[in-house]
Amino acid sequence: MNKLQKFTQPTFPGPGTNPTYSGEFAGQYIAAALLSAKTLDNKYITIMPNVKYKEVIQKIAVTNIINDASCDFVTDTGSVALTETVITPKELQVNLQLCKQNFVQSWEALQLGYSAFDEIPKSFTDYLISYVGGVVAQATEQSIWTGDNSANGQFGGLYNAITASAAVSASTSGSITSANVLAALDSLVNAIPNTVYGKEDLMIYAPTNVVKAYQQALAGGSQGANGWNNQLNVGEKPLNFNGIDIAFCPGMASSTMVAAQKSNLFFGTGLLSDYNEVKVLDMANIDGSQNFRVIMRYTAGTQIGIASDIAYYKAS
């Protein structure tokens, strides 16, 4: 299976050099790259690290365990159902070659201030790794929700697994806009199983266009209202619908939503295991070129727990 992920080489002017680097800080950068995906960064789902190959997710359901009291111990009252699913992270890698001349001037400009990074990388190598790490984070966020395990450079996403299962669905015709987002959310909430509704970790997961539409609706928009708390379009409106928090997940496909418990959605990775490797190779001493090679290896995968406890929305 070909797992080579190629990225289009960007262009920034400038010269520079740096030696080969592979070590602890590189590992920290790939960790930050994986966990900087918005869904993971905000811990909207359950993160399972150190999954070297596969891990079993067990769910226990008990029924009819309370009975009228008696003098005897009755062993056959109630029932215990043990179900399990398996999460198997997929091995992925980045093999990328970049010309150092395209990046050095940009890195040097960061040292002067106004950096987009929370902390300016002190070395050119760290800057280069952080740049590539941002691309990895974006790809990870997209795969978490819409990834196809059979596609090169992707791992299986949650939404595909949810729609392929026995999860409850709700839908209306047309894409979600500020005019129908409230009705769409109502439809999704009505589809949430009663056994799940009211759970503390229940969330509504929504993509960019739904969050934008909801903000516009709360501000008045096409609803003709005065806006949330009479603030019209001033300030960000709360991402909460009838007491259920809305998780903004940009990796989701437009006009789709999911209602589920955070404890029922899983992301597995060998992030802290020996399968992770990050190297930056300066090719100057090898072939005399001005190229850097960035090598990353990591694993990632998703899984759902109890499908019948999940509701999803898809515009038809």
The answer, yes or no, to whether residue 197 has pLDDT greater than 90, is yes
The DSSP result for 67-135, as a single string, is ----SS--TTSSEEEEEEEEE-PEEEEEEEEEEGGGTHHHHHHHTTS--SSSS--SSHHHHHHHHHHHH
Same domain, 107 and 143: yes
Q: Is residue 68 part of a domain?
A: no
Mean pLDDT for all residues in the chain = 79
Considering the domain boundaries, does residue 1 fall inside one? Answer: no
Q: Which position has the higher pLDDT, 123 or 169?
A: 169
Residue 136: which pLDDT band, with cuts at 50, 70 and 90? confident
Looking at the structure, tell me whether residues 143 and 273 fall in a common domain.
Answer: yes
Whole-number pLDDT of residue 167: 85
Co-location of 110 and 140 in the same domain: yes
Confidence of residue 181 (pLDDT cuts 50, 70, 90): very high
- Same domain, residue pair 129 and 238: no
Residue 69: predicted pLDDT: 72
Check: CB of residue 187 under 8 Å from CB of residue 314.
Answer: no
- 29 is a domain residue: yes
Residues 202 and 184 in one domain: yes
* Same domain? 277 vs 152: yes
Range of the domain at 279: 12-54+86-159+266-304
Same domain, 271 and 259: no
Please indicate, yes or no, if residue 76 is contained in any of the structural domains: no
Residues 133 and 38 in one domain: yes
Number of separate domains in the chain: 2
**Claim to verify: residue 48 and residue 176 sit in the same structural domain:** no
The closest alpha carbon to 304, from 50, 85, 37, 53, belongs to 85
Residue 12 has pLDDT above 90, yes or no: no
Co-location of 239 and 299 in the same domain: no
Give domain status of residue 98, yes or no: yes
Task: Give the pLDDT band (50/70/90) at residue 251.
Answer: very high
Indicate whether 18 pLDDT > 90. Answer: no
Q: Is residue 62 part of a domain?
A: no
Query: Do 22 and 128 fall into the same domain?
Result: yes
Residue 247 sits in a domain whose CATH number is 3.30.2320
Q: What's the burial of 134, exposed, middle or buried (CB within 10 Å: 0-12/13-18/19+)?
A: middle
Any domain includes 201: yes
Please tell me whether the overall predicted TM-score, pTM, comes out greater than 0.85 for this model: no
Mind listing the pLDDT tens digit for each residue in 88-119? 899 998 898 888 777 777 666 666 555 555 55
Residues 183 and 229 both lie in one domain: yes
With respect to residue 90, please indicate whether it lies within any of the assigned structural domains. Answer: yes
Averaged pLDDT, 40-61: 83
- Does 170 or 232 have the greater pLDDT score? 170
